[in-house]
Amino acid sequence: MNAPQPLTEAYIHAKRSAFKLAVNRATRSAAARAEDEPAFAAHAPLQAYRHAWHWLRENVHPRYFDDVLAASANPSFATLAELLANTESGDAFAAAYLDYGLSLPTEDGLNQTMRALLAQHQNDRQAALHAHAELWRDSGHYVVPVRESVRAEQMRQKALDAELLGPLDQERLALIDALPDPPNPPPVRFDKVGIIPRMSCPQSCPHCLFIHRSPVRASDKQAREVLKQAQRISGQMLFSGGDLTDDLPLFYHAVESLNNVARFAILLNGEFAIETDNARRVLTAMQSALNKRSRKAKPARIALQISFDDFHQEIQANHRGELRERIPVAAIANIIEAWLPTSDIELSLQHKQTSANFDPRTLFSQGALGRLTAQLAARGYSVAVDALSHSPREKQLPQDAAKAARPVSYATFHLQKFPHKLIHLMSSVIDAYGRAATLDPSAYINEKSLLNAWLNGAQPPMDPFDRDPMLWLDGRVTLFSATHICLGNAQTEGWERVWSRWRKDPLAQALAQMDRTLIERFAALWPDKLAQLRRQATSPHYLLYAVTESSESRLKLTKSLIE
């Protein structure tokens, strides 16, 4: 029986792999730019390895610099590794690396590149370094420390949240109310409905969309009224909004009492299961809630969705270099063990795609999935993969944007002692929005190529922009794919008015149709802003989300669609 990999070993291995990906992407990106701009070729090594210098300090504790930099056995890397580990600033690294290149024999390629850089600046070393620093600042990489970027984004999100249902949103909703109702509209009915008891999470995962989370304040009476409305409009509901461990009693109540709902999904981060006994208590309570349903109720299932990937299970170092998992892999193993005796509860791991998804042969032996497999093996369970499915389209490799392949997007697996208890792995991409905007591009798979194809008029296969409703317990009603598109507050305005707006809202309809004219309309209003958003966006959904996230843009786009 193999013991789980010690955290130190797992941390160093993960950081070495990530460092290689970051360096590979930086060097290839620099080389690609040099092909388009021959004068940049002399700057390419400095730019690429300065990226490595900054990456190291943002992602690795100094205690482990030497271990991570031992990634290469090439003797020529030794001096570079020493400079990456020991120089005090990015500018100091650039100067030292320039001097190192000039110290090499004249037939060495790096020496020739550095002499070419000096020649561009009349052999003036300071002028060459100044030009490098200007190029670096223009690149935008690591120019602002990640903590400062996150803080600024938090304030931006907080300001946008304060606009929700403010004067401009109210003006927009009044325009929608004034539109004629369709004749004889059918009762509203949705494939699913979201329930948001709260928007909060104790974690600060590096890929998260939300840094600021909108507060939700609701009484028990309000909460139960929202659940009753949800039952009237859908047979499936998803509880979401961050970590909902404290809202599990409300979830159990919904399962027990909502007779017309057949599927209850809840998204949790797994932190509740750090203690084995608590994992058992939660799964037992879920099964008990199903068992307590009325005989007149529809047969129902629970879909327990657990966030699990190399971001939620990231190994972190504190200021002393002591290591801990953000959410321990052992907690997920506890959930799996507690789930095995249950019936009518589906278990899925909600996973974010990285470069590991491109190699199905090793997907379950690397990173957090590999640590989970080892943790289960230590408990006497052997993991067997039943099926793997790939994305319907190719996606860019994080380490080399010039190459593309189809990553694994779905898998099922089981523990060999329990062949009929399938665990689902649902693997999706990350949008570089919110905290994720600070991630190095080598760390995740995005949809930049899909965005470019869509903007150029193609209709590639992709998920729709989901406008099924999210019901907040405080009465707000928003869209699944855009919690900033708010149709009002049903507690104060009534459900009928909210659903009337859902039928008539031209902006929500345009989003659901992935209407590219929204981008054109936004460009007519804010051309410079659109150019910036296009550079930042990593998918069509990101761009549509971004062009509608301010109350001013929502109002003006709605007016444009009505006119």
Residue 512: count of CB within 10 angstroms of its CB: 16
Spans of the chain below 50 pLDDT: 1-2
Q: Which domain holds residue 552?
A: 145-178+442-562
Residue 213: count of CB within 10 angstroms of its CB: 17
Same domain as 172, residue 44: no
Note the pLDDT of residue 2: 47
Which has the closest alpha carbon to 256: 300, 190, 192, 195? 300
- Kindly state whether residue 414 falls inside one of the protein's structural domains: no
Same domain as 163, residue 45: no
Reduced to 3 states (helix: H, G, I; strand: E, B; else coil), residue 428 is strand
- Kindly state whether residue 199 falls inside one of the protein's structural domains: no
Same domain as 136, residue 14: yes
Same domain as 166, residue 46: no
- Kindly state whether residue 479 falls inside one of the protein's structural domains: yes
Note the pLDDT of residue 243: 87
Same domain as 19, residue 138: yes
Domain end among 143, 168, 203: 143
Strand partners, 268: 306
Note the pLDDT of residue 447: 92
- Kindly state whether residue 256 falls inside one of the protein's structural domains: no
CA angle 201, 473, 548 (to 5 degrees): 75
- Kindly state whether residue 249 falls inside one of the protein's structural domains: no
Note the pLDDT of residue 1: 40
Reduced to 3 states (helix: H, G, I; strand: E, B; else coil), residue 65 is helix
DSSP per-residue codes, 144-204: S-HHHHHHHHHHHHHHHHHHTTSHHHHHHHHHHHHSPPPSSPPPP--S-EEEES--B-S--
- Kindly state whether residue 315 falls inside one of the protein's structural domains: no
Could you read off the pLDDT of 359-393 as tens digits, one per residue? 999 999 999 999 999 999 999 999 999 999 999 99
Same domain as 114, residue 21: yes
Q: Which two tokens stand for residue 424?
A: 């689902």
Same domain as 99, residue 162: no
Same domain as 114, residue 167: no
Secondary structure, 3-state, 72-99 = CCCCCHHHHHHHHHHCCCHHHHHHHHHH
DSSP conformational letter for 320:
T
Number of domains in the chain: 2
Same domain as 138, residue 174: no
How would you classify the pairing of strands 469-472 and 423-428? Answer: unpaired
Note the pLDDT of residue 5: 62
Give the integer Cα–Cα distance in Å for 427 and 369: 12
Q: Which two tokens stand for residue 57?
A: 């300090």
- Kindly state whether residue 396 falls inside one of the protein's structural domains: no
Same domain as 132, residue 34: yes
Q: Which two tokens stand for residue 279?
A: 């994992």
Domain end among 143, 168, 200: 143
Same domain as 124, residue 25: yes
- Kindly state whether residue 492 falls inside one of the protein's structural domains: yes
For the entire predicted model, the pTM comes to 0.94
Same domain as 531, residue 454: yes
Note the pLDDT of residue 140: 83
DSSP H helices in 258-297? 276-291
DSSP conformational letter for 312:
T
Q: Which two tokens stand for residue 74?
A: 């090439």
Reduced to 3 states (helix: H, G, I; strand: E, B; else coil), residue 471 is strand
Q: Which two tokens stand for residue 322?
A: 């002591």
